[in-house]
Structure 1
């Protein structure tokens, strides 16, 4: 019986394959031409295929033997010889091609830099940090992530979703930090999706949420590669869908929707202050219209006399109840917001700004709304946009009308009931098994996956 002893090349080659066995973007191929043999291994997401074809594959078939080919390879300035398998893995993750031939292995630089198709983030703007945003190309997005998270523990699995659209979905996670139960649940839900066409991250979020009617988003949808990298480092899972520039982060908790990437750059005290401002904005945009109705129609005795008389004086010419006044102005603000989103960028800001100024001035002079109402609606519109994640932003806009209804029926008691109801609802919500609202709860809880 002949026992075949593995060479150093074979051992390193197998070790590299084992380290990257769950990475869908790995390419391992053998080159043959007569007696010539060589193996190359690289990551497609961070290497340039044109460089590989031009400077590795084509010269291999043009040289007369493997020795001449390796002499050609080592003559390039972009070539280096790793001292061990760990350095070879490090170079592989950076965009090098590892070439095995002539009982040696070398690393050839073929790094692909995703630059031409990458634009600046528009939905999540920050002051400092990287301005890059995801693109509609899954390979480019993988490139952006790989260059920021260079470890073999970053695994990439691909699935095809949509029987007609055939959209490729990439599942990214750190194998040493991910919760395997969450990963299994995610794969189960992805396999159960029956949609024929799935082309946006928002559609995928609805399919994964497990509920038809829920007011708060349970996963973060983002366009920022740096947010994705930070989430992977925290043990979360990222789902990137081809043909869309947004990705999904799961599981997510309530505070994730109020965290901006600027918070990590600022000093700790400044970051906490900014987060506090956002939570204050959340409370203000939810409750200010409701408080106005409650104080004007039900509980004016709670305010100081001067403030009560000021509100009452501003409403003297208004011919209808306070709730109608608030509802009218809120709906007009919604019209302005939608118009600013749908209009071309060249005229949108100007048209909506001029329209808002004319609308507010004319409504006040005509006696349709009071002066205090204009101030309040402006504050509500401003505080709503301090929330960094748009999905939570839209949810709060809808929830504001529920508070307005409760205030119109029960006054201040209705507002209190509204906040109690939200707390109770959020306390039982789960994001892939993780407590959504109770940040200090046991993160290992598995009950109530939703």
Structure 2
């Protein structure tokens, strides 16, 4: 049976669509007529694959003997779409569909032309071992890549539309047998509640579905890797894919998810544990080292042995301002270098930031604007930040360390300890779509082994 709407007829719907799209130069209204056979095609030629349309519809129309045969042939095509309203039909035409009017029946087919369906190289989450291809920017291609890695009949795919003006297609994927029901319910509700004209990318969609709009710590993960996606589906998480974006959203995400690299799955057990430990050490170093420097030099130099305390004090000889001003200057300069490395063209970014950092560090110490030890600490903080596999957590840590530094400036080592305790208490009190933020492991292969 044809998939059609009982409410829409060619005589009333096609003139309305033509009136809506007629000012557009690439809109095409093509009547096909031969003998007693007549059909009409409506489509936008810049988003339609013309060769497929010709081979699938136009050529068979002239080869078949009767209109009945043509209708039976068209209704048997696999890319037929359901029509629910005039507005939905209009939106589908802008996405690359073709509306065919045959008698008083309207049939809708997907003939979208896609130039961005090739898998991309992994740039954001590279690994030495494991898959080297990431998602593409085409939604259907991404769903295909995930299904090629996760062969379970319980895998469900549901489609949504977001953005009142762009009508961007969004798919959610989950394993019906093991998905976290509360998280799935909240995510579906959030997608339906989105009231925004334009959704630019998956990162923009993430902000729309977050429970708190101004949250610092991330509760979802953006990933480009298909192996991470299949691993998290097996752990009961929900995957959100957006058409036109090569990143997938994983939810719910807890703190320990952000510290996991997919390389851990490919390394031997003790190697994986060692590299994982390095990430946690880097996490604490990035947050605590600047505050620790200020607390020791300005408040509690007696914590170290006398020789080390004297060495630390000697390195600050000639520095004309307090240690917290010194730390703030170096951290802000480091932030400038990081932002410059992101914004500059790839051909010059590495050279410019490396040379700039070396020259700047040498000049600062020679001019007695900062101590040698602080230069080492600043470099260690910068390196530690990049040890964390997921960028969203790295950005949150960049902000959090200034909060810890502020408490240390006010109350010394006591402020450092209280701020770290407060930070972990805040994280322990946080939840991600019904999951405790400090929940240790996702359900899946890790728990079974």
Partner of 1:223: 224
Query: How far apart, CA to CA, are the structure 1 residues paired with 2:364 and 2:387?
Result: 27
Cα deviation per residue 1:207-240 (whole Å; 9 max; x = unaligned)? 1111122221011111111111111111111001
Query: How far apart, CA to CA, are the structure 1 residues paired with 2:443 and 2:346?
Result: 46
Partner of 2:399: 398
Is the aligned partner of 1:323 residue 2:324?
A: yes
Query: How far apart, CA to CA, are the structure 2 residues paired with 1:180 and 1:255?
Result: 21
Q: CA deviation at 1:439?
A: 2.5
Partner of 2:334: 333
Structure 1: stretches of 5+ with no match in the other structure: 1-47, 65-113, 444-450
TM-score computed with the length of structure 1 as normaliser: 0.73
Q: CA deviation at 1:338?
A: 0.3
Instruction: Name the SS for the 1:347 alignment partner.
Output: helix
Query: How far apart, CA to CA, are the structure 2 residues paired with 1:49 and 1:174?
Result: 37
Query: How far apart, CA to CA, are the structure 1 residues paired with 2:116 and 2:151?
Result: 18
Structure 1 contact 124–388 (Cα < 8 Å) conserved:
yes
Query: How far apart, CA to CA, are the structure 2 residues paired with 1:338 and 1:390?
Result: 13
Query: How far apart, CA to CA, are the structure 1 residues paired with 2:154 and 2:334?
Result: 48
Query: How far apart, CA to CA, are the structure 2 residues paired with 1:156 and 1:442?
Result: 20
Structure 1 contact 199–242 (Cα < 8 Å) conserved:
no
Is the aligned partner of 1:237 residue 2:251?
A: no
Cα deviation per residue 1:57-106 (whole Å; 9 max; x = unaligned)? 98999799xxxxxxxxxxxxxxxxxxxxxxxxxxxxxxxxxxxxxxxxxx
Cα deviation per residue 1:131-173 (whole Å; 9 max; x = unaligned)? 1111221111112111111232211111000101211110001
Query: How far apart, CA to CA, are the structure 2 residues paired with 1:116 and 1:243?
Result: 10
Query: How far apart, CA to CA, are the structure 1 residues paired with 2:216 and 2:180?
Result: 26
Q: CA deviation at 1:351?
A: 0.5
Query: How far apart, CA to CA, are the structure 1 residues paired with 2:129 and 2:64?
Result: 50
Q: CA deviation at 1:393?
A: 0.5
Q: CA deviation at 1:301?
A: 0.4
Partner of 2:200: 199
Partner of 2:125: 124
Q: 5 Å matches for 1:20-419?
A: 117-419=118-420
Structure 1 contact 251–432 (Cα < 8 Å) conserved:
yes
Cα deviation per residue 1:188-225 (whole Å; 9 max; x = unaligned)? 11111111111211111111111122221011111111
Instruction: Name the SS for the 2:174 alignment partner.
Output: strand
Structure 2 contact 237–252 (Cα < 8 Å) conserved:
yes
Instruction: Name the SS for the 2:347 alignment partner.
Output: coil
Structure 2 contact 116–137 (Cα < 8 Å) conserved:
no
Instruction: Name the SS for the 1:123 alignment partner.
Output: coil
Partner of 1:82: none
Q: CA deviation at 1:181?
A: 2.6
Structure 2 contact 256–439 (Cα < 8 Å) conserved:
no
Cα deviation per residue 1:263-285 (whole Å; 9 max; x = unaligned)? 00111111111111101100001
TM-score computed with the length of structure 2 as normaliser: 0.73
Q: CA deviation at 1:129?
A: 0.4
Structure 2: stretches of 5+ with no match in the other structure: 1-48, 66-114, 445-449
Q: CA RMSD in A?
A: 2.7
Structure 1 contact 165–199 (Cα < 8 Å) conserved:
no
Query: How far apart, CA to CA, are the structure 1 residues paired with 2:51 and 2:268?
Result: 44
Structure 2 contact 117–138 (Cα < 8 Å) conserved:
no
Query: How far apart, CA to CA, are the structure 1 residues paired with 2:426 and 2:50?
Result: 51
Query: How far apart, CA to CA, are the structure 1 residues paired with 2:154 and 2:179?
Result: 10
Provide closer, same or farther for how the CA distance between residues 50 and 413 of structure 1 changes in structure 2, counting only shifts above 3 A.
Answer: farther
Instruction: Name the SS for the 2:307 alignment partner.
Output: helix
